[in-house]
Structure 1
Amino acid sequence: MPRLAASTVTPTMQLLKSRGFATSSVRQSLEKLRQKNRNDVVITFAKRTALTRAKKGGFRDTTSDTLLHSFLSTAMPLTGVRASAVQDIIAGVCHTPSPAYEVRAAALAAGFPDTTPVEAVNRLCSSGLMAVRHVSDSIARGELEVGLAVGYESMSNHPRPTPVFGSEAIRNHAASVDCAKPMGWTSEMLALDYGISRETQDAYGLVSHNRASAAQKSGKFKSEIIPIATSVLVDPKDPTNSAQEELTVHEDDGIRHGLTMDKMRAAKPAFKDYGESRSTGPNSSQVTDGAAMLLMMPRWKAEELGLDVLAKHVATSVVGCKPRVMGVGPVYAIPKVLERAGITKDDVDLIELNEAFGSMYAYCVETLGLDNEKVNVNGGAM
């Protein structure tokens, strides 16, 4: 589960001073963030499934509705809150067809009453974060007391669709055409436009995998993962063999253990037809199946229910960028959200930053001047 995302990092002290923030106001902002107020929007439960490789991992034969239903059914009894107390469920999901129907059906079958509404939101990579923001905003306005923010995806069953534009005006607009390009293409364009070498991407990818490997081996992920029972085809290559094997998926299966720089250098390009082919499997994110959820409410409600508070949600910022280099979004979103919080990047102890590709991760970390020892300390998407 991401610890701190684009909702939690801050701009530089210089930027704050240029916009009228003094050092004393930064200190005041930090103290304000640390205060515990009865109307704070807080998180009382944060869990996820294991994240598995699409087409190859433990959820490869699990449909998206089955994945969501199984997760909700297994996770909700652990929250300390009855399903009937949840007043809204908002799910972030990118590629599932008719997702609102699927979320509603899964919720009902998982034991939520028909009085609990649902919504599906899609802002691509940040869809789950948008679910968190929507729930938080509703709680802050007094429209909800208890809300569930969910993110889920089955890229085994629903890989990224390639949009086909019927509008001639769109087809003749360069940036519009770029919107439909594959993510691997945007990674290669970013590497070209900003001079991110293959060696740099490999270096960041190696750090990501080694951190994730160490975290998994030491058991750091166990407390955040809810094991999910499912089944896989015994022989997926034989279409005539329907035999299935039951299993419980309890561990991420995409982490590459024992990676070295020599192995990074030896990896083959993942997108041979784009740019200079600097993106590879080890320095790019995998396609993934999995789900995650947060239970959110005002602090007074958590105290009333006797629930532990894990964190509070403070702010979110959303900023667009050129589709050609869509991965640089955090460069624009992070300063805005931290300016809103009134603190600097140096005030943040832990940062979770979307990795996606070594090209965009390198550009974001280096352009923002982030201390990489504070970023994705247990690895990330690569």
Structure 2
Amino acid sequence: MSRQIQDAYVVAAVRTPVGKAPRGALRTVRPDDLLVHAIRAALAQVPGLDPALIQDVVAGCAMPEGAQGLNVARIAALLAGLPQSVGGVTVNRFCASGLTAISMAADRIRVGEADVMIAAGTESMSMVPMMGFTPSVNPRVFEGDENLGIAYGMGLTAEKVAAQWHVSREDQDAFALASHQKALAAQQSGEFADEIAPIEVVAHVPDLDAQAIVTRRRTLALDEGPRADTSADALARLKPAFAAKGSVTAGNSSQTSDGAGALILVSEKILKACNLVPLARFVTFAVRGVPPEIMGIGPKEAVPAALAQAGLSQDDLGWIELNEAFAAQSLAVIRDLGLDPAKVNPLGGAIALGHPLGATGAIRAATLVHGLRRRKLKYGMVTMCVGTGMGAAGIFENL
């Protein structure tokens, strides 16, 4: 039976604050609990929606093992109190896992197989390290040069992009400084208030004087990453982190982080039946591959593909969330595509705000849909590079 393609609408978009890994405020909060918090906060944005209408939870996670293994999407759905009838599936496209989850959830609605979906992402880089606990690369990768880039560390791929696209150390550091400055200004002006669901962190610590374990509580309401003490001089003093004579440093790279985000997508039928106000319409998603050794340039292929699918031009985009895996690759993409820097990451990016891998797509989507509404912009895009050589891009429309 053929089905007519229908639209998928975002009716809720929230995220946790992003904590610094591995010693930040969220280091002891399990990633499934971060996802529970995001799901509950998303549901709170649409009190008129019966949770029993939700068909599935699609959650991105880049390292789905340890505390975020065992199908974290289904576990979080149950722990969040959703009906047992709601399914859950965890997807992994590394840094684009959260954005891929949104696309998959939207597609279920667009082809008429679902009316209400939750799309999300979660990652604790404090509890599960980059590459996971026991990484194992296929030995065939090392048999020749063709696939050797699969084994490259992300920092080395950034160095290769910097060299091939002639991105200087000075430009990388200036880009990083601007990311912090924009993020700090956004925090001070309350730009993130609509999207962040503050989270209470409970810690049990020893009190040696009282010879007892005491409970301490604090509420984290802002991202921990932006640094007011960052300066051009401080960034310039940092040594290369991945190559002895390189230009990529800890200061012009994204921060390892902990966090989660969740969006609720519905069909037009549910919009009308539940009298919901859409935040945005999901327009399209595209993914394209590039050589693994220059994975950071991936968006330069994915962005034009997504725009072509949507019948849009770059000029139609009012806001672009370009994930700042590294300043080197961000600048290379901006220059290669001729993106307007004023439209790229107006509230700062991952260099300042953090990059909790599989959660980032959902987090940045929440930033985008609320930002489009505040600034009365029509179209926006979330895009990122992806490990092993991919780029992903998703477009949203403010209604």
Report the TM-score when normalising by structure 1.
0.83
* Separation in structure 2 between the aligned mates of residue 160 and residue 181 of structure 1, nearest angstrom: 13
Spell out, residue by residue over 1:106-143, the C-alpha distance to the aligned partner (whole angstroms, 9 max, x if none): 21121112211111110011100100110111101100
Q: Is contact 1:71-1:228 (8 Å) kept?
A: no
CA distance in 2, matches of 1:208, 1:127: 23
1:245 to 1:182, Cα distance in 2 relative to 1, 3 A:
farther
Aligned counterpart, 1:209: 180
1:57-136 → structure 2 map (5 Å cutoff): 57-80=24-47, 81-97=49-65, 99-136=69-106
1:336 equivalent in structure 2: 305
> Which among 128, 147, 150 is matched to residue 117 of structure 2?
147
Pick closer, same or farther for the CA change 1:282–1:243 going to 2, 3 Å: farther
Which of the numbers 164, 169, 174 marks the counterpart of 2:145?
Answer: 174
Partners of 1:233 and 1:61 lie apart in 2 by 10
The alpha carbon displacement at 1:223 in A equals: 1.6
Spell out the pairing of 1:1-382 with structure 2 (5 A cutoff). 39-80=6-47, 81-97=49-65, 99-161=69-131, 163-167=135-139, 169-232=140-203, 234=205, 245-271=216-242, 274=243, 276-382=245-351
| Structure 2 residue aligned with 1:27 | none
Report the alpha carbon displacement of residue 87 of structure 1 after superposing the two structures with TM: 0.7
Q: Are 1:269 and 1:277, in contact at CA under 8 Å, matched by a contact in 2?
A: yes
Report SS of the residue matched to 1:253. coil
Q: What is the identity, as a one-letter code, of the residue corresponding to 1:354?
A: N
- Per the TM alignment, residue 175 of structure 1 is displaced from its structure 2 partner at its CA by 4.3
After the TM superposition, list the runs of 4 or more consecutive aligned residues in structure 1 that deviate by more than 6 angstroms: none
Distance 2:129 2:119 in 1: 23
Farther-moved stretch of structure 1 (197-206 vs 225-234): 225-234
Cα deviation for residue 58 of structure 1 reads: 1.3
How far did 1:233 drift?
5.8
Residue 228 of structure 1, CA deviation? 1.4
CA deviation string 1:344-374 (max 9, x = no partner): 1112111111111010001000000011011
Select the structure of larger CA radius of gyration.
1
Which consecutive residues of structure 1, in runs of 5 or more, have no partner in the other structure?
Answer: 1-37, 236-240
Alpha carbons 1:188, 1:276 under 8 Å: kept: no
Amino acid at match of 1:303: K
Instruction: State the Cα distance separating 1:100 from its structure 2 match.
Output: 4.9
Q: Offset of 1:243 from its aligned partner? A: 5.6
Cα deviation, residue 86, structure 1: 0.9
* Mapped contact 2:37–2:199 kept (Cα < 8 A): yes
Identity of aligned residues (%): 36
CA distance in 2 between partners of 1:243 and 1:322 (Å): 52
Letter paired with 1:196: V
Cα distance between partner residues in 1 of 2:282 and 2:237: 42
Query: Aligned with 1:103: secondary structure?
Result: helix
**Does the CA-based 8 Å contact 2:6-2:112 persist in structure 1?**
no
Quote the Cα distance in structure 2 between the aligned partners of 1:127 and 1:335. 20
Q: Distance in 2 between matches of 1:122 and 1:88?
A: 16
Structure with bigger strand share is: 2
**Per the alignment, do residues 349 and 70 of structure 1 end up closer, same or farther by CA in structure 2, a change over 3 Å counting?**
closer
Which residue type is aligned with residue 256 of structure 2? V
Question: 2:227 is paired with a residue of what secondary structure?
Answer: coil
What stretches of structure 2 of length at least 5 have no aligned partner? 207-211, 352-399
What residue in structure 2 maps to residue 8 of structure 1?
none
Q: Is the 8 A contact 1:58 1:232 kept in 2?
A: no
CA deviation string 1:84-119 (max 9, x = no partner): 221110001111316353321221121112211111
Letter in 2 for 1:89: V
Give distance in 2, aligned partners of 1:264 and 1:233: 36
Q: Which has the higher contact order (CA 8 A, sep 6+)?
A: 1
Shift of residue 75, structure 1, vs aligned partner: 3.7
1:93–1:121 Cα contact (<8 Å) kept: yes
Q: Deviations over 1:15-73 (max 9, x none)?
A: xxxxxxxxxxxxxxxxxxxxxxx942110001100011011211011122222223333
Q: Deviations over 1:279-316 (max 9, x none)?
A: 22321100010000110012232122111111101111
2:350 aligned counterpart, secondary structure: coil
Contact 2:14 2:41 in 1 (8 A): no
Counterpart secondary structure, 2:283: coil
Q: 2:121, 2:260 within 8 Å by CA — same for their partners in 1? A: yes
Deviations 1:141-179 (A, max 9, x none): 100000000011000001112632344x33213343322
Give the SS at the match of 1:349.
strand
Aligned CA-pair RMSD:
2.2
